[in-house]
């Protein structure tokens, strides 16, 4: 069984550890825990993790957030992975920090990365793990907010949330979206 796990973010040191890059942060930690390295491949940083006789193909698109669909589409086709085995890890300002929600499909909810994936695939039938980054910004400052780092009082919470996200990724690949939602979504 093959799974494509896509962490959304932007490449470049100026974006590292920002709210918008939580997808990259989750996959970086998963790779570290599994002792694998990412390689710069076509449209993405790429690596593989074997878990319970499944292969998880991890990609971090190098296309920038607003063109994430290009990388996802390329690797889905290249690896022949059906859409039901795709999981996208994405930041979500509609959820408070500490909230992690897996959904089997759904709307882009204004997220440019998800909008591009939906437009590229022609559907929204892929699972996503929404990582709450809260919405503590003044009106009209959303872009500055998601491209900023986490606040000092939020940083201590991140490692446990990232570990829980990794558990949810592994759960998705072993027991599927529905059971993972039942087990982890609060």
Three-state DSSP state, 10: coil
Mean pLDDT of the chain: 96
The string of pLDDT tens digits covering residues 12-23 is: 999 999 999 999
Domains with residue ranges and CATH for the chain: 2-184 (3.40.50.1470)
Residue 179 CA to chain centroid, in angstroms? 19
Which of 20, 74, 111, 116 is an active site residue? 20
Query: Is 111 a known active-site residue?
Result: no
For residue 118, the model assigns a pLDDT of 96
Percentage above 70 pLDDT, the chain: 100
Burial code of 110-134, b = ≥16 C-beta within 10 A, e = fewer? ebbbbbbbbebbeebebbbbbbbbb
pTM: 0.96
């Amino acid at each position: 069984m093959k799974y494509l796990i896509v962490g959304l973010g932007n490449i470049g040191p100026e974006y590292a550890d920002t709210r918008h890059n939580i997808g990259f942060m989750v996959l970086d930690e998963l790779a570290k825990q599994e002792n694998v390295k990412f390689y710069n491949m076509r449209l993405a940083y790429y690596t593989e993790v074997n878990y319970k006789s499944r292969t998880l193909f991890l990609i971090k698109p190098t296309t920038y957030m607003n063109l994430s669909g290009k990388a996802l589409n390329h690797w889905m086709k290249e690896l022949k992975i059906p859409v039901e085995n795709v999981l996208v890890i994405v930041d979500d300002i509609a959820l408070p920090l500490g909230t992690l929600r897996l959904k089997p499909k759904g709307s882009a909810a204004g997220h440019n990365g998800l909008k591009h994936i939906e437009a590229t695939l022609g559907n929204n039938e892929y699972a996503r793990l929404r990582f709450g980054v809260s919405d503590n910004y003044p009106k009209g400052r959303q872009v500055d907010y998601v491209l900023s780092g986490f606040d000092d009082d939020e940083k201590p919470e991140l490692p446990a949330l990232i570990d829980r996200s990794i558990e949810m990724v592994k759960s998705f690949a072993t027991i599927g979206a529905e059971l993972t939602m039942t087990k982890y979504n609060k």
